[in-house]
Structure 1
């Protein structure tokens, strides 16, 4: 079996958190959020290597994390690009030869369940592309610029997409190449693969796999750490 690499993207500034510090470096328990995320993948046996993509000014502190927390699977810390898509591509390009599979994951999602990560990976091995997702709980409305409701899609067909997103590396590289050549900017990697005509499968995760984005997420993250997904629970 070809190697499995993980690209963890943590280059964003995260203005929605309204803190001077970027959200991935805020403390959760005793450690930065990003360290929790890195340790999650460090401890998954199937993962061969981790590429960490961060803001250029954060490379030094992230290299210190790698050393201080014995993150032996992190083989490279890369400076990200202006857009997430560019950051992911830099991470993909840094993967070692012989890597056949890749998981792309948000640096501010420290609570993905290991069994869901592995289910997503196995689905990609069957089908080339899979993403973790959960059914949407709320009714979703399509709204125009004047904040007027235009339509209500059937909730049964709506899923909130999470990470990791798992791909055959060659497929994702082709998708990134095509997007770059055509000047297309997507909101996630699955979107780039979808537009090439490849079917992306959804693997059901859970609602604890939150993306820590706004101040409201922090107390909820602390609770998850204490009661569900902290190191004592893994």
Structure 2
């Protein structure tokens, strides 16, 4: 039986590291907010049954308006209010879905490629959970509170985790539910599933799947778009 898929796109951050008054997901790339570029990628995938965009309470209306203006508003797409923290926002989005599986993706990762999304989906369908990631390029050091190096982990075993992250819907909802009840805050959704004993498969993605969080990231995103237009 074919499994149904939904997507939660998280576009509720305030983006303090961007040092702008505007939330990072609403900053413009080619005259469209960053989250719209992200939404376009998933909207082009026919295997996606439901798309939930989670945003801040004061941004729901303008988020809906942008989606309508760009022609992406259809029967699959909903915009819902998130929480104060990312984890709360994801949980709110998950509860709007009734699919078998779900992809959870950062709204400010607009350069994710459909082939990598599909690879993540296939891995999750086989193993129950999967995440996109890339091998780290730099040597990583563990450092003490005093600024002294205490260890150098083997780089060959280290991966930089990205999104989307893919899960069986009921399992990731349960992971979020238990985390909320115990007051546990994870650094990503996979961590919540791991906490309950779940195994998460790593699928190699692309270094271009950046999360736009700083002014330098925004400059790089503009460069990437310019390069794509010239190809």
| Shared fold per TM-score greater than 0.5 | yes
TM-score by length of 2: 0.95
Corresponding residue for residue 184 of structure 2: 184
* Maintained 8 Å contact 1:50/1:73: no
Residue 203 (structure 2) pairs with residue 203 (structure 1): yes
The answer to whether the Cα contact below 8 Å between 1:42 and 1:73 also exists between their aligned partners in 2 is no
Partner of 2:144: 144
Aligned to 1:175: 175
How far is 1:74 from its partner?
4.7
Question: Whole-Å Cα distance in 1 between the matches of residues 125 and 100 of structure 2?
Answer: 10
Q: Which residue of 2 aligns with 1:89?
A: 91
Q: Which structure 1 residue ranges, 5 or more long, are not aligned?
A: none
User: Is the partner of 1:212 in helix, strand or coil?
Assistant: coil
Question: Which residue of the partner structure matches residue 19 of structure 1?
Answer: 20
TM-score, normalised relative to structure 1? 0.94
- Determine if contact 2:80/2:93 at 8 Å carries over to the other structure: yes
SS at match of 2:139: coil
Deviates more, 1:120-129 or 1:135-144: 135-144
Could you tell me which residue of structure 2 aligns to residue 61 of structure 1? 62
Partner secondary structure for residue 215 of structure 2? coil
Counterpart Cα distance in 1 of 2:186 and 2:219: 30
The number of residue pairs the alignment matches comes to 229
Retained in 2: the 8 A contact 1:129–1:168? yes
Offset, 1:82 = 1.2
1:1-234 superposed matches below 5 A: 1-71=2-72, 72=74, 74-95=76-97, 97=98, 99-228=99-228
Shift in CA distance, 61/74, structure 1 to aligned 2, threshold 3 Å: farther
SS in 2 for 1:6: strand
CA contact (8 A) 2:131 2:201 kept: yes
The offset of 1:117, in angstroms, is 0.3
Q: What runs of 5+ residues in structure 2 fail to find an aligned partner?
A: none
Is the Cα contact below 8 Å between 1:66 and 1:74 reproduced in 2?
Answer: no
Quick one: structure 1 residues 159 and 73, their matched pair in 2 at CA, closer, same or farther if it must change by over 3 Å? farther
The CA deviation at 1:146 is: 2.3
Instruction: State the alpha-carbon separation in 2 of the partners of residues 81 and 129 from structure 1.
Output: 24
For 1:47 and 1:85, the matched residues in 2 are separated by 22
C-alpha distance in 2 between matches for 1:73 and 1:37:
18
**Shift of residue 73, structure 1, vs aligned partner:** 5.3
- Confirm or deny: 8 A CA contact 1:12 1:55 kept in the other structure: yes
Q: What's the Cα RMSD here?
A: 1.4
The separation in 1 between residues aligned to 2:159 and 2:180, in whole angstroms, is 27
State the distance in 1 between where 2:146 and 2:59 align: 39
